[in-house]
Amino acid sequence: MNYDYQIAVIGGGSGGLTVAAGAASFGASVALIERKSELGGDCLHYGCMPSKALIHAAEEVYQTGQLTGLSDEQYDRLFTQAMEKVSKAVTNVQAHDSKDRFKEMGVDIYQNETEFIDDHTLQVGSRMITAKRIVIAAGSSPVVPPIEGVDEVDYLTNESIFSLRERPESLVVIGGGVIGLELAQAMARLGVNVTMIEAGERIAGKEDKEIASIAQKVISEQTSIITEAKVERVDTFEGRIKVHFSKEGSKGSVEADKLLIAVGRQANTECLSLDKAGIVTKEGAIDVDPYLRTSKKHIYAVGDCNGSMPFTHVAGMEGKVVVSNAVLGLSRKASYEKVPWVVYTAPEIYHLGLTEEEAHERYGDRLLTFKTKLSDNDRFMAEHHTEGLVKILTTSRGKIVGAHAIGPGAGEWMQEVGTIQGLNKKFQSLSNVIHPYPARNNAVSQTADLYWREKLFDSKINQAISWYVQTFR
Ligand SMILES: Cc1cc2nc3c(=O)[nH]c(=O)nc-3n(C[C@H](O)[C@H](O)[C@H](O)COP(=O)(O)OP(=O)(O)OC[C@H]3O[C@@H](n4cnc5c(N)ncnc54)[C@H](O)[C@@H]3O)c2cc1C
Ligand SMILES: NC(=O)c1ccc[n+]([C@@H]2O[C@H](COP(=O)([O-])OP(=O)(O)OC[C@H]3O[C@@H](n4cnc5c(N)ncnc54)[C@H](O)[C@@H]3O)[C@@H](O)[C@H]2O)c1
């Protein structure tokens, strides 16, 4: 059978663009179908880019406030300026994901919402497109929990918060996960009075417990945090939003000008008519095998819509796997073991692999844990940033199974652990790498030195060396 295209990609976000560009670069005929007027997806428009631009702008305001103090009027002006900087940053980065750029690569772009007609055919506006292979990269949307009254109030999500131009005096954030934390702290630093309500026993629930408790301590100095709270109802009171919750058997409420909901993501599957193509979903996301094939082997799913790990770098990794498999005919598996992530709070949180609790469960007594407090590192001491920790988890032979840190810039300087893990090197090999003093990643090499201290200096070999030195030298 003849098809219009070799590859049709649904969704022009991080995953879809990686597939479209990769497939076109290998000479495949590619259709890219995106319902929004611009390419770039959530990451560019409502996710990574605006949030990181906001965090940076908020840091500048916060530092200014710390140095000179700021009046309400100054906060109002700086808030508007910060939000305009966010919008400009998105516009600037849009150039990388411009339609013209992809057209030049040979990709045909359709601006339509699409759905399956059958497993090789997509309805695209008034026409139908057929493709030999189809890649679904439809992304995800914010979950809005079924809280009583939620539909009657004007709540914000990551899709609307970046459009604010006037500083709200107060904000209540439901959800103390990654989005909640990054945005709550940024807003607090812009002079907004923020309260975070988290259902779990702690914020940053996916992080190593010890790291999360440091985060909670630091962030609670800038925002109010209520944990183990069940939100029961929201309503409006004199133009303000009131969130009612229960905690440990008693009731409470928080009132604020604005409400942000950040309680997780759901895969965008509902308008794709997946059933017409015979594509199976699992727990609301598109079910894929390790080769990222759906229940129909010529249809693949990458990025947030397959429910694996909702990060841009994962969508990119999965996109490359699909190019190898769908375009080049290889059999590459997606692997998630070595995927790091960073929570861009101040201080930043770096996360790679298993937490200490998970690693203990898996490795038991074979697990080695190496920790350096930032208060033991000259650079962080010099900068008065001593609230932080590096924690590396290895097997007894030094294979890295988890790496975690909280500290200023941890997302950058901790990646050296991710790099050596990616290169299949042992953790202790970092001890032999000379780090410029006093670069922050000395905290990592300091931690690697602990491996040798444990292995060598506390061992029988060390006793033998001491005997040799004392006896013969
Ligand atoms: C506030 C926030 C901050 C974030 N920060 C980070 C970060 O710092 N680092 C990080 O790694 N990740 C971050 N993420 C996660 C990251 O944004 C996502 O993991 C990433 O965007 C997923 O890419 P994707 O291609 O799967 O989906 P998307 O980028 O969302 O792209 C999906 C595209 O498909 C389109 N689409 C959907 N259905 C259809 C249809 N039927 N027809 C046509 N088009 C359709 C959508 O319009 C969309 O453009 C953040 C997310 C949020 C919300
Ligand atoms: N820096 C980054 O890489 C980055 C930044 C933002 C988002 N993201 C991605 O986006 C994903 C989604 O982020 P998120 O923060 O929405 O989800 P999340 O899963 O990280 O956190 C959601 C939080 O909301 C809490 N929660 C759920 N229901 C609740 C309720 N009814 N009341 C109170 N609390 C409730 C959960 O216990 C959890 O702590 C992340 O997992 C991440 O993959 C990444």
- Is the pLDDT at 462 greater than 90, yes or no? no
Strand order in the sheet with 400-407: 340-343, 348-353, 400-407, 389-394, 368-373
Best CA proximity match to 122, nearest among 16, 19, 31, 37? 31
Q: Stretch 120-139: mean pLDDT, rounded? A: 98
Tens-digit pLDDT profile for residues 33-42: 999 999 999 9
**168 vs 191: CA distance, rounded Å:** 9
Task: Count CB-CB contacts under 10 A for residue 71.
Answer: 9
Q: Stretch 154-173: mean pLDDT, rounded? A: 98
How many angstroms does the Cα of residue 192 sit away from the middle of ligand 2? Answer: 21
Q: Identify the pLDDT of residue 97.
A: 94
Q: What are phi and psi of 236, to 5 degrees?
A: -110, 145
Closest protein CA for atom 27 of ligand 2? 263
- Is the pLDDT at 461 greater than 70, yes or no? yes
Which ligand has the shortest distance to the CA of 150? 2
How many angstroms does the Cα of residue 347 sit away from the middle of ligand 2? Answer: 18
Cut 0.90: pTM above it: yes
- What's the token pair of residue 88? 């400009």
Q: What are phi and psi of 439, to 5 degrees?
A: -55, 150
Best CA proximity match to 390, nearest among 347, 330, 344? 347
φ/ψ bin of 436: left (φ > 0), alpha (ψ from -120 to 50), beta (otherwise):
beta
- What's the token pair of residue 72? 């309400």
| Candidate from 42, 49, 51, 178 with most ligand 2 atoms within 8 A of CB, to mutate | 178
Task: Count CB-CB contacts under 10 A for residue 44.
Answer: 23
Confidence of residue 459 (pLDDT cuts 50, 70, 90): confident
**181 vs 178: CA distance, rounded Å:** 5
**293 vs 24: CA distance, rounded Å:** 20
Q: Identify the pLDDT of residue 473.
A: 86
Closest protein CA for atom 1 of ligand 2? 343
Written as one letter, the residue type at 408 is: P
What's 36's DSSP letter? S
Per-residue CA distances from 172 to 162, 196, 256, 267, 457 (Å): 16, 6, 6, 25, 52
**Ligand 1 site residues, Cβ closer than 6 angstroms:** 10-16, 33-36, 41-43, 46-48, 51, 113-114, 137-139, 158, 179, 268, 271-272, 303-305, 310-313, 315, 344
**457 vs 213: CA distance, rounded Å:** 32
Q: Is the CB of 263 under 6 A from ligand 2?
A: yes
Tens-digit pLDDT profile for residues 7-61: 999 999 999 999 999 999 999 999 999 999 999 999 999 999 999 999 999 999 9
Burial 247-277, CB ≥16 within 10 A → b, else e: eeeeeeebebbbbbbbbebbbbbeebbbeeb
- What's the token pair of residue 61? 């305001």
Q: Give 201-241 as a DSSP string.
A: SSSSTTS-HHHHHHHHHHHTTTSEEE-SEEEEEEEEETTEE
Look-up of token digits 């208060």: 375
Q: Is the CB of 46 under 6 A from ligand 2?
A: no
SS3 124: strand
For the chain, what is the mean pLDDT?
97
- Is the pLDDT at 458 greater than 70, yes or no? no
Tens-digit pLDDT profile for residues 383-423: 999 999 999 999 999 999 999 999 999 999 999 999 999 99
**Do residues 445 and 433 lie in contact, with contact meaning Cβ atoms separated by under 8 Å?**
yes
Contacts of 396 (CB under 8 A, 6+ apart): 366, 368
Tens-digit pLDDT profile for residues 250-304: 999 999 999 999 999 999 999 999 999 999 999 999 999 999 999 999 999 999 9
**40 vs 94: CA distance, rounded Å:** 7
**377 vs 138: CA distance, rounded Å:** 45
What is the predicted ipTM?
0.99
**217 vs 225: CA distance, rounded Å:** 10
Ligand 1 atom nearest the C-alpha of 305 is 26
Q: Give 274-310 as a DSSP string.
A: HHHHT--EETTEE---TT-B-SSTTEEE-GGGGTS--
Q: Stretch 312-327: mean pLDDT, rounded? A: 98
φ/ψ bin of 303: left (φ > 0), alpha (ψ from -120 to 50), beta (otherwise):
left
Q: Is the CB of 145 under 6 A from ligand 2?
A: yes
